[in-house]
Structure formats: structure tokens, C-alpha cells
Amino acid sequence: MVALFGRTSALATLERTRREAGAGSSRLLLITGEAGIGKSALAQQALDDAATAGFRIARGFAVDDPGAPALWPWRRVGRDLPRVADALTMSSTSEPSLDDTARFRLCEAISTALTADTPQAGLAILLEDLHWADTTTVSILKHLVLDLASTRTWVIVTARENDDTPFGRSWADLSRTPCAVSLPLRGLDVDDVRDWLSSTRDPNGWLARAPALVARTGGNPFYLAAVTARPAPTTQALDRLVLDRAGLRTILLAPLRRLDPDDQRTVATA
């Protein structure tokens, strides 16, 4: 899998934080990076490793859907951890109606539920795409990481680096907690891409084009896999291939959409 090539250091961080959590020092692993950079692949590897080590597994995710109810990631976790589901059911979880006191009670109820649900072998909780999460979902996470400091809990979070979200605004606070470990992902370099292409036997003839690939894709694994699924074109056709591949415009434009409208217009004009 291209997303895990060049991730030796990241995989070592997974191993270290899992072992620390399993030994009784909970860890919050914050995996961040742009769309397609490999956050989900790394998070899935973390869950696979946790399951192999005997951890109980729970998984939740946020979605880019205005119809999603408040606390959707924790509701999904509740499917794996019934005590969390009970805590949500017994609390008022309609986001607009929660005052500060009610929000604190809810945070405390879920922390208590997770403490009760942490087995001796350890508990791994994956929360994906928290750049789409609501404010209360993030508040629970902030409360939780302080409350579970001495438990066998491994919380893995994935999110894009976007300051203009509840998670983005809370990232600094989360990253400063004693149990937090930040793991920002960046694009693969030329040697990583060459190693990956060699491992696949490079059926479409891209190995000699590795520098050009990295220059045009930023080493984004999703982008690389999509482009190299077709035979390597001439140098003149490479840029056109990059732009024409279905789905790639979304990846290309994701950083642009985070800019202010005036900055977007400047880039568009350029």
C-alpha cells in the first residue's frame, strides 16, 4: 500500500504509543494531514495492531453532512461500547440545547463510561475525520484525555489541518495534554516513491518519472496511486493527465478551499 511506504517513523510512533497505552499510560495520537495523505491507512494499521495485541476496539467518525446529528462520532463508538451508548441516551444530546453545565455532565458521563469499559488488555478508540466534528464531540475528547491519564486507553484521531473548525481550534489544547502525541503526515519523497513503484514491479512504466511525479503530486499517496494507474505519458502530457484524472481535482483544490475568499481569487487569477 503506497500510503505506508516511507512511514517508518510514523509506524514506530504507532508501536510506541500502543505499548505505552497497554502498559497503563493512556495516549492520544493525533494524526493530521491533507486529504489523501494516508491518515486512514495509518489509523487502520493502528487498529489492526491493537486488535492483534488484544485491545478492545471501538470506532467512530465524523461526516461532511449537515444532516448528521450532534455527537455522531461518539454515537458510533457507542455501537461498540454499550456504556457509552447508555451515557448518550441518558443525557440531552441535542447540540443547540446544551448549556455549559449540561455539556460538562455529558463529558463526565462518557469519560466515566469509558473508564468502566477499559479492559485489562487495553482499549483502542479511533475517531476519524474530526475536522468535520461538532463542538461537543471535541469537548468530550478534551475532557476524556485528561480523565483517562492512568488507564490502558489508546485514542487515535485523524483530521485535516484546518484551523477553522472546532477540532482545529482545539488542536493546540489537545496537543499540550501530557498523553498527546502529534503525528503530522507529509507527502512521500522521491526515494519513497521509487521504492513503492519497485515493489509493484511498475507495470505502467513510471519508475523513471518518480521525480516528476513527486513534483506534481507533492508525494500525496492517493494522488500517486490514481495517476500511476495508467501508463506513463510523455512529459508534455503528464500535467494534462494529472488534471484529467477523475477525483483528483478534489485533492488538488482542498488546500485552496481553506484560504480566505480574497486569497482564493488571487490564486485563481494567477
Q: What is the pLDDT of residue 246?
A: 47
The predicted model scores a pTM of 0.86
82, 60 contact by CB (below 8 A): no
Residue 244 above 60 pLDDT? no
Predicted local confidence at residue 49, as pLDDT: 96
pLDDT above 70 covers a percentage of the chain that reads 85
pLDDT in tens, 161-198: 988 899 999 999 999 999 999 999 999 999 999 999 99
> What's the rounded mean pLDDT across residues 237-251?
58
CA dihedral 36, 42, 48, 52 (to 10 degrees): 170
